[in-house]
Amino acid sequence: MSVADNYFEKLYRSSEDPWSFRERWYEQRKRNLTLAVLPRSHYGSIFEPGCANGELSARLAERCTQLLCSDTSAIALELARNRLAHRSNVRLLQTRLPQQWPQGRFDLIVLSELCYYLDEQDLDRLIESARAALNPGGNLLACHWRWPIDECPLSGDEVHRRLHERLGLPRLLRHEDADLLLEVWATDATSVAQREGLAPDTSLEPPA
């Protein structure tokens, strides 16, 4: 069974930063890695479900024209709203995913430390919704903690295995260390260098 909404409400009632996003180097490093591996310097539209208190959102807002952030927790969204008040390109939405996946299509979807709170059935529905919501040329980034979390139905490794199997998209990048998995998929496999004309476009080559 997926983790219930009140799990997150309890966390935010006890602390405005329950995972120490601001203080821990693990969290700062993870954000830096996330921003560094994005295949594009700028996106038209980004969707960040599970935005928490908006620390990653503030960085993503610098890389896009429009950013949609959502969270199941009303407290988290209020914290994110305060954190992002100076950003005119950000919209916030309270949603329970995968049931309330928002309308619209996106150039980038960021699933950061989110999917292991879902059971297999809900994760499959979320993957299906995310794939359908990607614009042509779009990217999906996923980043998850690898150590056990007692309350979570799935591990980070299980989440990423399922994402890769069910997205059916080329994987552009995989970073793995003891603490986290970070992967990027795309609707096409064109690399950064190929897109900038620095490497041959192999998609135009005739099959062998």
DSSP code at position 150: T
For residues 145, 151, 157 and 162, what is the CA-based torsion angle, rounded to 10 degrees? -120
* Superfamily of domain 5-190 in the CATH hierarchy: Vaccinia Virus protein VP39 (3.40.50.150)
Kindly give, in sequence order, each residue whose CB lies less than 8 Å from that of residue 12, ignoring residues fewer than 6 positions away.
18, 53, 73, 75, 76, 79
Give the Cα separation of 32 and 20 in Å (integer).
16
Give the pTM. Answer: 0.92
Q: How far apart are CA 71 and CA 5, in angstroms?
A: 10
Return the sign of the alpha-carbon dihedral for residues 20, 21, 26, 28.
negative
Longest dimension (CA), the chain: 61
Per-residue confidence in pLDDT tens, the chain, 208 aa: 788 777 777 777 777 676 677 889 999 999 999 999 999 999 999 999 999 999 999 999 999 999 999 999 999 999 999 999 999 999 999 999 999 999 999 999 999 999 999 999 999 999 999 999 999 999 999 999 999 988 899 999 999 999 999 999 999 999 999 999 999 999 998 899 999 999 998 765 555 5
| Residue extents of the structural domains in the chain | 5-190
Q: Is 27 exposed, middle or buried (0-12, 13-18, 19+ CB in 10 A)?
A: middle
